[in-house]
Amino acid sequence: MTVLGIETSCDETAAAVVRLEPGDTAIGIRGEILSNVVFSQIDDHAPYGGVVPEIAARAHIEHLDGLIERALSEAGLGWDDLDGIAATSGPGLIGGVIVGLMTAKGIAAARGLPLIGVNHLEGHALTARLTDGLPFPYLLLLVSGGHSQLLVVEDVGKYRRLGTTIDDAVGEAFDKVAKLMGIGYPGGPAVEKLARKGDAARFAFPRPLLNRPGCDFSFSGLKTAVRQAIEAFDPLTEKDKADIAASFQAAVADVLSDRAEIAMAQADLVIPEGYRRFAVAGGVAANMALRERLLGTAHACGYEFVTLPLRLCTDNAAMIAWAGAEHLARGETDALDVAPRARWPLDPDAAPARGAGVKA
Ligand code: KG4
Ligand code: ZN
């Protein structure tokens, strides 16, 4: 089963071809990435210190056709070799989602191919099956610019949310801290780099919700504390910046580790022994310091730790093609009138977190 995937929900325009075939793995199938091309719009948005939705949507229109052509040619395939077209149909910046989904609909209609509208979060959630053949169920920490969630991945299309942010996403906090210090956009990689030479003990930033019951996250108080620390300096030296970055990242690490520990204790009830695996996905999962910390937490709780290659942590279309292929393999496809969605929670039964809006 060979699927073309399209991703346009934020500031990466991406196309990929992925093949799902029967395999001698724990899940009976194996995936192969035949091509995976990503155009990052970073330069378009950098002057604004964040993603501008209108600019993003226009850039997707400009680049998507060429990227799809490249994805096919790098895979050495033509249209006739495809079995389906998958595109992110939410959640995300609606202008961008519309561009990708409508392109996919056009291709599906023109070529008579099945269409699969993929939940972007499901793309992140199922990547560990593409890379590591992870069987259901497993625990997932999804940390990106738009989401911070702990989920039990029970099946394709079936997720149990254990916790979510009640205000900001963790990637958003990284981006904000970087913007306040003027160290570049996107913030995550810049903060991580600076933190390496900083003193994490210099600033005692708050650890929101630490040691509190449940697995929810909160990052707005931490963000405010960092802003106040930055504003107290004039001038802000390179050493101050590095120490702030390190202290901020240490606070995030403490919070993620604490919440993950509680989630593992809760997940023990639904994840049988032998299946205890903890995967981390989303852009923030590219952070090496956080990975190391979460690896320790997982092992201390008796969980195997699963990380993804860096280019599959941040937004890409291979994850969309794979999630589409998993649905297609089950005969689950969408009609051509499937609607783009700005909001699309993975667990429809989870209580809404009002302060987080579409991020919950
Ligand atoms: O998953 P992603 O590419 O897009 C969304 O779906 O949001 O995640 C992007 C987020 C950004 O906030 C970015 O700053 C963050 O992931 N990020 C990082 C790192 N690399 C990317 N955060 C911390 N450390 C990193 N190395
Ligand atoms: Zn994402």
Gap between the Cα atoms of 318 and 207, Å rounded: 35
Beta-carbon neighbour count of residue 109 at 10 Å? 12
Q: CB of 92 within 8 A of CB of 342?
A: yes
312 lines ligand 1 (CB under 6 A): no
- In this predicted structure, what is the pLDDT of residue 182? 93
* Distance from chain centroid for Cα 345: 14
The DSSP symbol for 217 reads: B
Question: Per the structure block, which two tokens stand in for 50?
Answer: 């964040």
pLDDT digits (tens, 9 = 90+) for 185-201: 889 999 999 999 999 99
Determine which residue's CA is closest to atom 3 belonging to ligand 1: 314
- Structural domains in the chain, sorted by start: 2-132+312-359 (3.30.420.40), 138-310 (3.30.420.40)
- Of 86, 32, 41, the C-alpha closest to 61 is 41
345 lines ligand 1 (CB under 6 A): no
Gap between the Cα atoms of 86 and 288, Å rounded: 31
Mean pLDDT on 108-132: 97
- Of 328, 327, 329, 276, the C-alpha closest to 303 is 276
Mutation test residue for ligand 1: of 174, 181, 280, 358, the one with most atoms within 8 Å of CB: 174
Q: CB of 335 within 8 A of CB of 41?
A: no
Beta strands in 114-222 (DSSP E): 115-119, 138-143, 148-155, 158-164
194 lines ligand 1 (CB under 6 A): no
Q: How far is CA 112 from CA 81, 85, 109, 259, in A?
A: 12, 10, 5, 46
The DSSP symbol for 343 reads: -
pLDDT digits (tens, 9 = 90+) for 276-324: 999 999 999 999 999 999 999 999 999 999 999 999 999 999 999 999 9
Q: Does residue 271 carry a pLDDT above 90? A: no
Q: Is the dihedral of CA 352, 170, 33, 28 positive or negative?
A: negative
Angle between helices 238-267 and 187-195 (to 10 degrees): 110
Give 105's contacts (C-beta < 8 A, 6+ positions apart).
Answer: 115, 336
How much distance in Å is there from the Cα of 85 to the middle of ligand 2? 19
Angle between helices 187-195 and 170-181 (to 10 degrees): 70
How much distance in Å is there from the Cα of 233 to the middle of ligand 2? 34
286 lines ligand 1 (CB under 6 A): yes
219 lines ligand 1 (CB under 6 A): no
Ligand nearest to the CA of 93: 1
Band the pLDDT of 263: cuts 50, 70, 90.
Answer: very high
Gap between the Cα atoms of 287 and 285, Å rounded: 5
Q: CB of 2 within 8 A of CB of 34?
A: yes
- In this predicted structure, what is the pLDDT of residue 355? 79
User: Strand pairing partners for 48?
Assistant: none
- Of 143, 145, 158, 1, the C-alpha closest to 82 is 1
pLDDT digits (tens, 9 = 90+) for 3-51: 999 999 999 999 999 999 999 888 999 999 999 999 999 889 888 878 8
10 lines ligand 1 (CB under 6 A): yes
pLDDT digits (tens, 9 = 90+) for 77-103: 999 999 999 999 999 999 999 999 999
Q: Does residue 211 carry a pLDDT above 90? A: no
Beta-carbon neighbour count of residue 266 at 10 Å? 18
- Of 218, 227, 119, 224, the C-alpha closest to 169 is 218
Gap between the Cα atoms of 314 and 120, Å rounded: 12
132 lines ligand 1 (CB under 6 A): no
pLDDT digits (tens, 9 = 90+) for 138-182: 999 999 998 999 999 999 999 999 999 999 999 999 999 999 999
Gap between the Cα atoms of 55 and 61, Å rounded: 10
- Of 41, 17, 45, 42, the C-alpha closest to 31 is 17
